[in-house]
Structure 1
Amino acid sequence: MVPFSFCRQEMMLLDGALRGASALYWPREQALLVADLHLEKASFFARTGQMLPPYDSRETLERLASAVRTTGARRVFALGDNFHDSRGPDRLEPHAAGMLAALTRALDWVWITGNHDPHLGDEAGGTRAEELVVAGMTLRHQAIPGTQEAEISGHFHPRLMVEARGRRITRPCAVLSEKRLILPAFGALTGGMNAADPAILSALQPAETIEALLPARDKLVRYPLWRKAA
């Protein structure tokens, strides 16, 4: 875990299984924040004849349980697109369903609904909200540009894409402006968008600077993406 400050709050980024940012830990709230799990994505596409590797939900939940153990979190805020569609909980295979039930029973678990799962029901466990304000911080699925509130969101699946020594390197990352923080996708079957994409930069406005944040061993790499013209 690598510490940094956001809106006067100490936060910690967790390294991901694919070498990059994966989740956020908020020590003051003893809370783990994850975005875009997209549970049951494989089974959703299987219904249309597109066969993806199964057990994506099991892998994602195993990673999530590991993050809870690592941080000692007592709360989980899942920031939308938690399932690939609102009926995803009905398709969980028994092992994954049992894992999810154990997690939601053991923790104060809140599902923030997203564009993929706007009608998520009680069968997922935990509680549901369209957005939530915790200690002055607004938690929602998709950033709302133009406001002055402190905000943490997901939705865009940001990835840092750079050229280094003739190689193209892509890593999941968080993206940060003064009052907005966008988390990377946590799910096992999620792709990503270039962190410097205009859609992401626009979502983080107003801003003076925008950076990609990437944990690298015990250090935090801050990669500049945009700066307001003088």
Structure 2
Amino acid sequence: MTAYEFSLSGTSMQARADGTLWLPEARALCVADLHFGKSERMARRGGSLLPPYDSTETLIRLADAVRACNPATVYCLGDSFDDDAAGLALPPDIEDGLTGLMAGREWVWIAGNHDPAPIALGGSHRDRATVGPVTLRHIADPSETGPELSGHYHPKHGVATRAGRQVRRCFLISGARAILPAFGCYTGGLSCTKAPLDALLKPGAVAVMLGRRAVPVPLDRALA
């Protein structure tokens, strides 16, 4: 399946194999942790020198998702930029590409821990947003009692296959909460069985693993 369909408190959603989340009734596309400018930020701070193609690859994949869904609204759930300086110094081709994707639709930048300040692009800038009854924020709030979408943790999960153990980015769906995978290139991952992710999951939680298909994997045994 190219998307795994589920609902949070009656709101229909599709966890897509590309790592985006589609809310069909609202025509809203959600994406988390784009981390534009990560290679530049690491070089600027004296870290590892990575090939500077991550932002281009991330933009191409984001453009593919926008073309496929043609959303009325795009919600970026925080850490869209690897730090505030990266958001303020986008290469012209990346800025032009984002501006083109934003044209003709509402675009909402939600603040993350890497990019708390508003960026010099169009769209609206918020600490959190709502789509119907669903709250969208960067970091899951353990005290939230309503349906919630978030990112931040870059969840991943591994399963044993005939070809060996496969570890992939994944959505985590548990109760009224869904945590999106990191969309950007050069973003690592946190196992969904490790703290603090494990504490956010309830019995019946599902990891939707990404690849050519979106594959749901029950987590009860992994979390036991």
Matched, 1:117 2:111: no
Matched, 1:132 2:126: no
Which structure shows the bigger proportion of residues in strand conformation? 1
Task: Normalising by structure 1, report the TM-score.
Answer: 0.88
Match of 1:12?
Answer: 14
Q: How many residue pairs get matched?
A: 219
Query: 1:144 is matched by which residue type in structure 2?
Result: D
Displacement of 1:3 after TM fit? Answer: 4.1
The answer to whether the Cα contact below 8 Å between 1:36 and 1:155 also exists between their aligned partners in 2 is yes
Match of 1:170?
Answer: 167
Instruction: Map 1:1-230; keep pairs closer than 5 Å.
Output: 1-7=2-8, 8-16=10-18, 22-49=19-46, 50-121=48-119, 123-165=120-162, 167-204=164-201, 207-214=202-209, 220-226=214-220
Which sections of structure 2, spanning at least 5 residues, go unmatched? none
- 1:216 and 1:128 map into 2 onto residues whose CA distance is 31
Task: Normalising by structure 2, report the TM-score.
Answer: 0.90
- 1:126 and 1:41 map into 2 onto residues whose CA distance is 22
The answer to whether the Cα contact below 8 Å between 1:78 and 1:110 also exists between their aligned partners in 2 is yes
The answer to whether the Cα contact below 8 Å between 1:140 and 1:152 also exists between their aligned partners in 2 is yes
* C-alpha RMSD of the superposition: 1.9
- 1:38 and 1:147 map into 2 onto residues whose CA distance is 26
Which sections of structure 1, spanning at least 5 residues, go unmatched? 17-21
Q: What CA deviation, in whole Å up to 9, does each residue of 1:165-192 have, x standing for no partner?
A: 3612011110011100000000012111
The answer to whether the Cα contact below 8 Å between 1:2 and 1:215 also exists between their aligned partners in 2 is no
The answer to whether the Cα contact below 8 Å between 1:175 and 1:210 also exists between their aligned partners in 2 is yes
Displacement of 1:226 after TM fit? Answer: 3.2
Query: 2:199 is matched by which residue type in structure 1?
Result: S
SS in 1 for 2:220: strand
The answer to whether the Cα contact below 8 Å between 1:35 and 1:185 also exists between their aligned partners in 2 is yes
The answer to whether the Cα contact below 8 Å between 2:168 and 2:211 also exists between their aligned partners in 1 is no
- 2:163 and 2:71 map into 1 onto residues whose CA distance is 40
After the TM superposition, which segments of 4 or more aligned residues of structure 1 sit over 4 Å from their partners? 215-218
Aligned residues with identical type, % of pairs? 39
The answer to whether the Cα contact below 8 Å between 1:161 and 1:195 also exists between their aligned partners in 2 is no
SS in 1 for 2:219: strand
SS in 2 for 1:43: helix
The answer to whether the Cα contact below 8 Å between 1:32 and 1:73 also exists between their aligned partners in 2 is yes
